[in-house]
């Protein structure tokens, strides 16, 4: 096994410290996978987490596909499960807890106790070659998932087998990631419980709506920021906070009267004035906090109903007076509300929704945010498929 030199060890410790500061689960998985691949020069990789006794496809990165189509990030939101058994490399590693290196998955040695599942290759039109799969094991020896990196590349972009040094690096990240993953999972569950609490008060809202709005927001921001030339590290840092904060955009509705929230007929002017206060009440929930996430949550809760032309609420902010995060969540929230079916309305036709969103550029929405949204619409659709409404909200 490789003996790390001092600069290398210092860099790994710095990365590990950063991982422990990340709160959002998806941002954490993104960082873990990126750093594992960077150290091993792997072209692609994925992370599977165990849920309900199966491996759930949780995150993916693929440099080759990104070069072909930089805007096509929809595979991140693909969803499928893999059984914990020998029918796949991931399943075998999760079953046994043993790391596995394979030089070519399409040329497995006869008699090996595992097999290769080409499900993702078939779906993504990608060709897997060499694979390194490492279990994610907690300190109490519980396996919570696996990290798999794919196709080690040399400078000529030829695929090479992984080696013991690579195994050392990925094992380091896996061993140090499990605590951070468990903590991020608890944070995600806490956020979802808060959104479900709002859902109990307001039958028009769902926790899946909050999940979608959070995912829409980080992808819209990512596209907007890349076009602006914002450094990657800054993008990653804001995305970590934005996902959580955007999910909590309507949490202030817990303070609104049931007589208003559950009213099926149009609100009176007085009732609508009261309803609008949910923006201020939501912001107040995060007051007096020093955390970046809480500050951003307060900002979004207060400003996601402001409009680009100054006709929104609560403060009639106009154009760039509205914080960027508020402008992004404004579009994400309206889009999801229009395209989703609810007990009080049918879903709008998709083309009608897109025409409306485009027509509101420069009115309700920031024109640049509309442009970024349209450019990544394949990703937006993939998010909708990943987080569908539960059946009781579709009827």
Token pair for 35: 């750093």
How many CB atoms neighbour CB 46 within 10 A?
Answer: 23
Q: Which of 74, 204, 253, 307 is catalytic?
A: 253
Q: Is 277 known to be catalytic? A: no
Query: Which distant-in-sequence residues (6+ apart) come within 8 Å of 293 by Cβ?
Result: 23, 240, 241, 244, 245
Give which of 182, 93, 176, 87 is closest to 134, Cα–Cα.
93
Handedness of CA 167, 168, 169, 173 (dihedral sign): positive
Catalytic annotation, residues: 253
């Amino acid at each position: 096994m490789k003996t790390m030199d001092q600069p290398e060890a210092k860099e790994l410790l710095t990365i590990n410290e950063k991982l422990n500061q990340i709160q959002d689960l998806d941002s954490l998985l993104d960082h873990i996978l990126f750093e594992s691949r960077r150290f091993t020069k792997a072209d692609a990789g994925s992370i599977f987490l165990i849920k309900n006794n199966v491996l759930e496809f949780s995150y993916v990165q693929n440099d080759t596909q990104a070069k072909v189509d930089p805007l096509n990030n929809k595979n991140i939101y693909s969803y499928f499960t893999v059984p914990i058994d020998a029918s796949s490399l991931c399943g075998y590693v999760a079953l046994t807890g043993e790391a596995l290196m394979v030089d070519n998955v399409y040329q497995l040695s006869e008699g090996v106790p595992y097999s290769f599942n080409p499900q993702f290759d078939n779906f993504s039109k990608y060709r897997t070659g060499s694979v390194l799969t490492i279990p994610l094991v907690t300190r109490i020896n519980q396996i919570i998932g696996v990290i798999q990196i794919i196709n080690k590349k040399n400078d000529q972009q030829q695929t090479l087998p992984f080696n013991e040094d690579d195994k050392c690096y990925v094992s380091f990240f896996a061993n140090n990631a499990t605590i951070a993953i468990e903590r991020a999972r608890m944070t995600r569950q806490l956020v979802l419980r808060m959104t479900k609490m709002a859902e109990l008060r307001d039958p028009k809202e769902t926790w899946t709506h909050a999940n979608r709005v959070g995912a829409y927001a980080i992808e819209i921001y990512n596209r907007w920021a890349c076009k602006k030339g914002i450094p990657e590290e800054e993008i990653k840092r804001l995305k970590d906070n934005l996902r959580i904060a955007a999910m909590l955009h309507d949490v202030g509705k817990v303070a609104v009267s049931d007589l208003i929230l559950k009213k099926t007929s149009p609100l009176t002017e007085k009732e609508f004035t009261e309803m609008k206060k949910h923006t201020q009440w939501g912001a107040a929930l995060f007051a007096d906090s020093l955390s970046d996430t809480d500050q951003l949550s307060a900002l979004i809760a207060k400003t996601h109903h402001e409009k680009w032309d100054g006709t929104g609420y609560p403060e009639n902010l106009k154009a760039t007076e509205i914080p960027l995060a508020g402008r992004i969540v404004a579009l994400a929230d309206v889009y999801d509300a229009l395209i989703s079916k609810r007990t009080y309305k049918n879903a709008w036709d998709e083309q009608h929704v897109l025409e409306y969103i485009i027509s509101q550029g420069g009115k309700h929405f920031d024109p640049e945010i509309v442009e970024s949204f349209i450019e990544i619409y394949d990703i937006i659709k993939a998010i909708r498929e990943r987080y569908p409404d539960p059946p009781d909200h579709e009827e």
